[in-house]
Structure 1
Amino acid sequence: MSKKSVLFICLGNICRSPIAEAVFIDLLKQRGLTDQWIVDSAATAGYHVGKGPDKRAMATLNNHGNNNYVHRVRQITDEDFSKFDYIFGMDDMNISDLNRVARQAKGSKKAKIELLGKYDPEGLIEIPDPYYDGTAMFEQVYQQCLRSCTGFLDSSSN
């Protein structure tokens, strides 16, 4: 059985997409599915390549018992569109950027590009960028990523 694959995307890959990646990996561990998935995250812009996630994102993950997440920022590549089954953006700007990059990407493309929030049962389609806000917004992003990742995993397991 081949592995399923998912790539989480946000502008800088320091707040939302690392939170989503860590949450999804944690859900896979809880369900005993880690050997069935390839999971990663990346940025649409190269502002922070090589750096770690925002300290507030890491603090939020730590507050929820996710103390083992390690990540280095990378920017999306042409190969990602053929490597991953799903590429999730966090907001409409991410989706616009992803579609533009996908059109220009060389090689085959199999990835389905969607908003992660499409799977949020509360109907909050866009996951807001918490970068310029406080810890409460990071917690909101965490909760929305948890709901959305759970919804996606439930739907992909059927």
Structure 2
Amino acid sequence: MPAVPPQRAEGPYRVALVCLGNICRSPMAHVVLESRLADAGLADRVEVASSGTGGWHVGNPMDPRAAATLTAAGYDASRHRARQYDATWPEAYDLVLVMDEVNLADVGGRTERVGMFRDLDPADPGGSVPDPYYGGDDGFEEVLAMVERTSDGIVAALQAAIESHPSDRAGGGRA
């Protein structure tokens, strides 16, 4: 399992998820990752945000097909509102994970803190999360399976990082 970069400051470890419009892939990943973190007892130690590199959907809920796929799998997709990626995120977040190579280029390329979401996929690392927007419902189900599997890998990597630096990161604000 690849390691995640060290935390920058006190407070929760901050993870940002990025796709194109923030209505399909990154919000699905956001909802699933938050759920997996809660299941692992890390909800108070890891903060998750998502955004899109384009601003077309800012303020809108996620794509109805993405929301329906999440809801059918037992997740709450109702709170999401699309946001646009901000160029300061690589400095503000401990880890920025993008869904595909275009998103990676849009955020300035790979760095210690910026990588591909599926770099942490335990079954099939690397590669892109395909954009299901222009396809059918089966594309959203495929994305959900990738997101669930990869979220488990991210949680494992975060647990290892947090356990290797046992200071109390749950409390206090960011320095």
The answer to whether TM tops 0.5 is yes
Distance in 2 between residues matched to 1:81 and 1:60, nearest whole Å: 30
1:89–1:95 Cα contact (<8 Å) kept: yes
Aligned pair 1:42/2:58, yes or no? no
Judging changes above 3 Å, is the alpha-carbon distance between structure 1 residues 68 and 129 closer, same or farther for their aligned structure 2 residues? Answer: closer
1:150 aligned residue:
152
Please, what is the CA RMSD of the aligned residues?
1.8
Please state how far the C-alpha of 1:47 moved relative to its aligned partner: 1.1
- Spell out structure 1 runs of 4+ moving beyond 6 A: none
Residue pairs, 1:46-65, within 5 angstroms: 46-65=55-74
Please state how far the C-alpha of 1:156 moved relative to its aligned partner: 2.1
2:170 aligned residue:
none
Distance in 2 between residues matched to 1:5 and 1:88, nearest whole Å: 11
Judging changes above 3 Å, is the alpha-carbon distance between structure 1 residues 96 and 87 closer, same or farther for their aligned structure 2 residues? Answer: same
The sequence identity of aligned pairs, in percent, is 35
1:127 aligned residue:
129
Structure 2 residues not aligned, in runs of 5+: 1-9, 161-175
Please state how far the C-alpha of 1:121 moved relative to its aligned partner: 2.1
1:70 aligned residue:
79
Tell me the TM-score normalized by structure 1.
0.88
Structure 1 residues not aligned, in runs of 5+: 103-109
Distance in 2 between residues matched to 1:136 and 1:98, nearest whole Å: 28
2:61–2:78 Cα contact (<8 Å) kept: no
Judging changes above 3 Å, is the alpha-carbon distance between structure 1 residues 122 and 75 closer, same or farther for their aligned structure 2 residues? Answer: same
Q: Which moved more, 1:75-84 or 1:44-53?
A: 75-84
Aligned pair 1:84/2:86, yes or no? no
Tell me the TM-score normalized by structure 2.
0.80
Greater share of helix: 1
Matched residue pairs, number? Answer: 150
